[in-house]
Structure 1
Amino acid sequence: MAGRSKPVDLATRSFATQGEATAFFKAMLNRYRPGEQVNEEDALDIAALLERHTEYTAKVGKGVSHFEVMMTEHGTQCFRIVRTDGSGTDFSYRNCITQRPPSRKQEVSQAFRRAVRFDLYNARDAFFATYGDENGNATCAVTGEPITRENAHMDHRPPMTFEVIVTTFLCSRGLSLDSVPLTTGRDDQVSPEVADQTICEEFRAYHSSVARLDLVRNTVNLAQASQHRLKDGRASLT
């Protein structure tokens, strides 16, 4: 928690803690729908925040025309830069606030999650087709409340959480984090990709064989993520 207590000073405003800055830009992001252009007032704050990005020069390119909001492949929203030459790319406001790029472990996990994203979408759609009610809703496995397809995630049931699946897959094939070839940092590449198609397909097959999935509300799934991380002393991706 020490990092979240650090102040965040921008050219346009200051925040006493990283938590305050995160809440401010999260609320801003959620005021927009995918495809909408950010208004001029909010754009000033985003431009000031962007200056903190660890890859600022590459993100800005030849200059910023405006900002907009885009939908990621994981069903969440993020800010997007539209450059003066018409090109564009996404960026993480959280990374700007913490000024910490994703770790190798996070990048590998994101890449493998990207590899199975359509399998997870298909599992979600099959669940709704089988168990959805007349209003198109299904039941959250955690809260018991009705949820729509738009706010539903497929959660990996413990003990085979997604992190455990990635860890055991790598260990079984003698792979380390550094030996997984990734493509990162490309324009509009919200998450890294596994560059080796053979590894990608092998992981999809392994994931399909061991994953046990529950349908949960997206906010519940994100809240549970930290609880399912590997604890010290267990198998590790490092």
Structure 2
Amino acid sequence: MAEFWIGHRRYRTKGEAKEAVRKVLYRYNVGSIVDQEDDHLLLLDLLDMHHEADDKIGPGVAAFAIAPPQRGPYPGFEVIRTDGSRIDFSYQTCLKPPSYRQQVMNVMRDEVKSTINAYFESRKMAGSLISDQSGTPLDNSNTAVSYFRGPSFVDIAEEFTETVGGWEAIELTPSTEPGLGKFKDRDLAERWFNHHEEHAALGLLSSQENQRRPRR
């Protein structure tokens, strides 16, 4: 069977990915906050795969909780938004094949990965591996390049997409890995790279600070 991806996590099968999510679900009691960092980050990436992700995320994700059963005997996940409101989401729905928008978004992230890596290396070479939010010293294992200073990655991607005629106007090469590929039109890829470089206001946070900032 084909490999399956949730964010950067690769699973041998979709069933293996589903089992990883189920382990998070049953690691906590109903009503509990998902407070382990790796579990929180997995659910953030999982929620991004939902076909109604924007509506579920709303103003941003503050935390996740384990919701009581709504239909049948099984608990589920609940998003706690930054404004205090709550909404449930189905992890089964998230694990359905990604929409074309999600596939393009994954490729867009991959196309600008060199910019993110170069920013991190430049800060490291300058001896300024500190959080731009709290001033906390950082190390290689506790550092996240973040968009918290300006428009989110989603905002930058959507603005670019509107200028080229929508998501369907961006044709992708056949995937070499599930969910990934390249822009087939390399001139368009260069335009996206330049657009991202022009609009991305990058900064450094600790991994903990980054995971707790509003997610859109």
TM bucket (normalised to shorter chain) is 0.5 to 0.7
Higher RCO structure, 1 or 2 (CA under 8 Å, sep 6+): 2
- Code of the residue aligned with 2:192 in structure 1: it is F
Instruction: Give the equivalent residue in structure 2 for 1:139.
Output: 130
Summarize deviations over 1:42-66 as a string: whole Å, max 9, x none: xxxxxxxxxxxxxxxxxxxxxxxxx
* 1:105-144 mapped onto 2 (5 Å cutoff): 105-132=101-128, 138-144=129-135
Residues 162, 176 of structure 1: alpha-carbon distance in 2 compared, 3 angstrom cutoff: same
Instruction: Give the equivalent residue in structure 2 for 1:161.
Output: 152
Q: Distance in 2 between matches of 1:223 and 1:103?
A: 26
Cα deviation for residue 128 of structure 1 reads 1.4
Instruction: Give the equivalent residue in structure 2 for 1:21.
Output: 23
Instruction: Give the equivalent residue in structure 2 for 1:180.
Output: 170
Q: After TM superposition, where is structure 1 displaced by more than 4 Å over at least 4 residues in a row?
A: 95-98
Q: Distance in 2 between matches of 1:121 and 1:197?
A: 21
Partner of 2:167: helix, strand, or coil?
coil
Q: Distance in 2 between matches of 1:96 and 1:123?
A: 36
Partner of 1:209: helix, strand, or coil?
helix
Cα deviation for residue 120 of structure 1 reads 0.9
Summarize deviations over 1:73-115 as a string: whole Å, max 9, x none: xxxxxxxxxxxxxxxxxxxxxx889532222222221111111
Contact 1:21 1:97 in 2 (8 A): no
Q: Distance in 2 between matches of 1:223 and 1:183?
A: 34
TM-score, length of structure 1 as denominator length? 0.48
Q: Distance in 2 between matches of 1:117 and 1:99?
A: 25
Question: Bigger CA drift: 193-202 or 176-185?
Answer: 176-185
Residues 97, 171 of structure 1: alpha-carbon distance in 2 compared, 3 angstrom cutoff: closer
Q: Which has the larger radius of gyration?
A: 1
Partner of 2:203: helix, strand, or coil?
strand
Q: Distance in 2 between matches of 1:218 and 1:198?
A: 34
Partner of 2:168: helix, strand, or coil?
coil
Instruction: Give the equivalent residue in structure 2 for 1:194.
Output: 183
Residues 123, 222 of structure 1: alpha-carbon distance in 2 compared, 3 angstrom cutoff: same
Partner of 1:220: helix, strand, or coil?
helix
Q: Distance in 2 between matches of 1:146 and 1:184?
A: 42
Residues 97, 172 of structure 1: alpha-carbon distance in 2 compared, 3 angstrom cutoff: closer
Q: Does 1:171 align with 2:162?
A: yes
Q: What residue ranges of structure 2 are gaps of 5+ in the alignment?
A: 1-14, 28-37, 39-90
TM-score, length of structure 2 as denominator length? 0.53
Instruction: Give the equivalent residue in structure 2 for 1:204.
Output: 193
Contact 2:172 2:184 in 1 (8 A): yes
Cα deviation for residue 203 of structure 1 reads 0.9
Summarize deviations over 1:124-154 as a string: whole Å, max 9, x none: 110111133xxxxx21223432221343221
Q: Distance in 2 between matches of 1:221 and 1:127?
A: 17
Q: What is the CA RMSD across the aligned residues, in angstroms?
A: 3.4
Share of identical aligned residues, percent?
Answer: 17
